[in-house]
Amino acid sequence: MLNKLAASELVLNSDGSVYHLNLLPGDLAPKVILVGDPDRVPKVSKYFDRIEIKKNKREFYTHTGTLRGERITVMSTGIGTENIDIVMNELDALVNIDLKEKEFKTNHESLELFRLGTCGSVNPDVQVDQMLVTQNVVGLDGLLHFYPDYEFENDFSRNFMTKFPYDKIKPMLYFSDWAADISHYYKDAKYHGNTATFPGFYAPQGRQLRLKALDDQFLETLNGLGVTNFEMETSAIYGLAKLLGHKALTVNSVIANRRRGEFSADHQKSEANMIEWVLERIIK
């Protein structure tokens, strides 16, 4: 097989940076914090001792600097697994493809990826304003089915597939889990759970405005299948990390408990607590 990538496959900007993220290989640290909201990037980087790089294009904002002598990057992904497909592939290209020669590198580099997000809980016992680390994840968006070599199965996925009652959605399902060998970073989190990643904010999450959702008991059904919380990115991060040989962990601040109808009284404070908690653990 030829190792050379066509210009149409590995699209670069005029300065040689990857197309969407607008980054060069030297702009990226080995540890990358992924946040959805671009406004959350400076909320993380303000804790850095020094910021050396600030770049952005579209919704992808990146700050790279140092904290306690270690280099670290924080990057916004925007919303949804379709954006994660861009982010994960271009992050991998930065470390595992020679961008000038457009050839795969011989030696593989593995990034440590840490998603900091917000989520809603479907488990009535999970308290709002606490942090929840994703151990297992089910994707309802279908993204990983576009990659032919992806396979994943464990006890959670087998039980979920057996009991999931929605035949129209079932072909889209795929599963993954955390990078167990770096899970020690978050061993003292209050909650570890199983996350559902949805392809939308309204009907997929059971919300109904003018359009009705498939089932107004959808969240309850998911909880009965072992799901603890839901959001819109982790399944793609975990699944693509496994395919590309990177290590990924997600921690979410629980800002809503949909089963109890509760919403955080101060989600900005909860977000700040999460950022400080994560930085204290991943950068010693």
* pLDDT tens digits along 176-193: 999 999 999 999 999 999
Residue 188: what residue type?
Answer: D
C-alpha neighbours within 13 Å on the C-beta side of residue 139: 27
Q: What is the mean pLDDT of the chain?
A: 95
Give the integer Cα–Cα distance in Å for 40 and 115. 12
pLDDT digit string, tens, across residues 227-250: 999 999 999 999 999 999 999 999
Backbone φ and ψ for 260, nearest 5 degrees, come out as: -100, -5
- Rounded percentage of the chain residues whose pLDDT exceeds 70: 99
Residues 6+ apart with CB under 8 A from 54: 61, 62, 63
Give the integer Cα–Cα distance in Å for 208 and 214. 10
Residues 6+ apart with CB under 8 A from 201: 207, 232
Q: Is the pLDDT assigned to residue 84 strictly greater than 70?
A: yes
Give the integer Cα–Cα distance in Å for 5 and 173. 31
Q: Tell me the two tokens of residue 212.
A: 């009705």
Average pLDDT estimate for 215-228: 94
- Rounded percentage of the chain residues whose pLDDT exceeds 90: 92
Res 2: pLDDT: 54
Let me know if 267 is exposed, middle or buried by CB neighbors in 10 A (0-12, 13-18, 19+): middle
Q: Which DSSP helix (H) or strand (E) runs through 45? A: helix 40-45
Indicate if the alpha-carbon torsion angle 24, 55, 51, 237 is positive or negative: negative
**Beta-strand relationship, 229-231 and 191-197:** parallel
Answer for the pair 80, 142: CB distance below 8 angstroms, yes or no: no
Average pLDDT estimate for 93-110: 97
Give the integer Cα–Cα distance in Å for 41 and 33. 9
- All structural domains of the chain, each given as residue ranges with its CATH number in brackets, are 25-282 (3.40.50.1580)
| pTM (predicted TM-score) | 0.96
Res 1: pLDDT: 42
Q: Is the pLDDT assigned to residue 127 strictly greater than 60?
A: yes
